[in-house]
Amino acid sequence: MVGNQHERLNKSNKLTMARKATYDQDTVKELRMSVIEASLMVMTDDPKVESWSAYKKELILKIAPRVLPTVNEHSGPDGGAIQISGVDIVVRK
């Protein structure tokens, strides 16, 4: 009996995990932009921010890096090429 309950739990978990997340792209875009704008206001000491609580300011600054796009560097130390050693590179034509 315990084995059957375990199998049912696994099946229900698989169904739950397979569910596709859906959300409104426009709403997400608006939310990101509002967080970015609010973080700029906090960092530039905008007069509107004076009425905000310290908690709200800290929360906005904590969330801000997560809504900004990430920049990936694909260059060497001084902006040059990345040196790869110990790998045989074969270029096919």
Average pLDDT of the residues of the chain: 78
Identify whether 46 is part of a domain.
yes
Highest mean pLDDT among 54-63, 71-80, 84-93: 54-63
Residue 42 contacts residue 61 (beta carbons within 8 Å): yes
Confidence of residue 86 (pLDDT cuts 50, 70, 90): confident
Residue 62 within a domain: yes
* CA atoms within 13 A of residue 26's CA, in its CB half-sphere: 0
Q: How far, CA to CA in Å, does 78 sit from each of 63, 67, 75, 85?
A: 31, 28, 8, 18
- Of the listed ranges 4-8, 61-65, 72-76, the least confidently predicted one is 4-8
pTM above 0.85, yes or no: no
Which domain covers residue 34, as residue numbers?
24-68
Phi-psi region at 88: left, alpha or beta (left = phi > 0; alpha = psi -120 to 50)? beta
Question: Does residue 76 lie in a domain region?
Answer: no
Give the pLDDT confidence score for residue 47 in this predicted structure. Answer: 93
On whether residue 35 sits in a domain, the answer given is: yes
Mean pLDDT of 35-47: 93
What's the domain count of the chain?
1
Evaluate if residue 11 carries a pLDDT over 90.
no
Specify the pLDDT at position 1: 47
Q: Is the dihedral of CA 45, 49, 53, 55 positive or negative?
A: negative
How many residues are listed for the chain in this entry? 93
